[in-house]
Structure 1
Amino acid sequence: MAKGVTLVLALSAIVSRTVALELPDFIKVCKRNDPEIESCIKDSVEFLRPKLMTGVPEYSIPSLEPLLLKELVAAEGSNGLRITAKDVKAFGASNFIIQKIRVDLDTLRFALDILLPHLYIEGLYEIDGRVLLLPIRGNGPMTGNMTDATGSVKIQADFFKDELGESHLILSEFRMRINIRKGSLNLENLFGGDPTLGTVVNNAINSNFDSFIKELQPLIEKALSTAFQDFGNNIVRPFTYDQLFPEK
Structure 2
Amino acid sequence: MKVRMLTLGGTMTVLMMLSLCGAVKFPSGYRLCKQDDQKCLFDQIATTLSKHSQGIPEVNLAALDPLKIEKMDIVQGDGPINIELNFKNVDLTGLSESEVKKVTGFTANPTKMELSLLIPVASLVGGYKINGKVLILPIQGQGHSNMTMVNCDVHLKWTGKLVDHANGKKHYQMDKLKAGVDTTRFYMNFSSLFNGDKALGDNMNQFLNDNWQDILKELKPAIVKAFAQIFQKVISNVFDKVPYDELFQ
Q: Identify the match of residue 231 of structure 1 among 211, 229, 234.
A: 234
**Are residues 152 and 59 of structure 1, via their aligned partners in 2, closer, same or farther at CA, if it must alter by over 3 Å?**
closer
Matched residues in 2 for 1:236 and 1:104: separation?
12
**Are residues 150 and 193 of structure 1, via their aligned partners in 2, closer, same or farther at CA, if it must alter by over 3 Å?**
same
**Are residues 174 and 53 of structure 1, via their aligned partners in 2, closer, same or farther at CA, if it must alter by over 3 Å?**
same
Specify the alignment match of 1:134 in structure 2.
Answer: 137
What one-letter code is carried by the residue in structure 1 that aligns with 2:176? E
Q: Quick check: 61-70 or 46-55, which moved more?
A: 46-55
Quick check: 1:45 aligned with 2:48? Answer: no
Question: Helix, strand or coil: the match of 1:233?
Answer: helix
Aligned residue pair count: 227
Specify the alignment match of 2:57 in structure 1.
Answer: 57
Deviation at 1:27, TM superposition (A): 4.5
Q: Identify the match of residue 206 of structure 1 among 205, 209, 214.
A: 209
Question: So what's the TM-score if we normalise by structure 2?
Answer: 0.79
Deviation at 1:104, TM superposition (A): 6.2
Whether the 8 Å contact between 1:110 and 1:156 is mirrored in structure 2 is: yes
Quick check: 1:170 aligned with 2:173? Answer: yes
| Larger proportion of helix | 1
Question: Helix, strand or coil: the match of 1:229?
Answer: helix
Question: Helix, strand or coil: the match of 1:53?
Answer: coil
Deviations 1:24-73 (A, max 9, x none): 255433333x4xx3333212212323443122334433211211232323
Whether the 8 Å contact between 2:46 and 2:100 is mirrored in structure 1 is: no
Question: So what's the TM-score if we normalise by structure 1?
Answer: 0.79
Whether the 8 Å contact between 1:26 and 1:47 is mirrored in structure 2 is: no
State how 1:62-141 maps to structure 2 within 5 Å: 62-77=62-77, 78-79=79-80, 80-103=82-105, 105=107, 106-141=109-144
Deviation at 1:138, TM superposition (A): 1.8
**Are residues 156 and 92 of structure 1, via their aligned partners in 2, closer, same or farther at CA, if it must alter by over 3 Å?**
same
Specify the alignment match of 2:5 in structure 1.
Answer: none
Whether the 8 Å contact between 1:144 and 1:185 is mirrored in structure 2 is: yes
Specify the alignment match of 2:32 in structure 1.
Answer: 29
Whether the 8 Å contact between 2:90 and 2:124 is mirrored in structure 1 is: yes
Matched residues in 1 for 2:130 and 2:166: separation?
48
What one-letter code is carried by the residue in structure 1 that aligns with 2:172? L
Identity of aligned residues (%): 26
Quick check: 1:157 aligned with 2:160? Answer: yes
What one-letter code is carried by the residue in structure 1 that aligns with 2:240? R
Deviation at 1:171, TM superposition (A): 3.0
Question: Helix, strand or coil: the match of 1:237?
Answer: helix
Matched residues in 1 for 2:144 and 2:40: separation?
42
Structure 2: tracts of 5 or more residues without a match: 1-16
Specify the alignment match of 1:240 in structure 2.
Answer: 243
**Are residues 164 and 120 of structure 1, via their aligned partners in 2, closer, same or farther at CA, if it must alter by over 3 Å?**
closer
Structure 1: tracts of 5 or more residues without a match: 1-16
Specify the alignment match of 2:150 in structure 1.
Answer: 147
Matched residues in 2 for 1:223 and 1:67: separation?
14
Superposed CA RMSD in Å reads 2.5
Specify the alignment match of 2:194 in structure 1.
Answer: 191
Deviations 1:105-126 (A, max 9, x none): 3442112332111112212222
Matched residues in 2 for 1:181 and 1:171: separation?
31
Q: Identify the match of residue 216 of structure 1 among 188, 195, 219.
A: 219
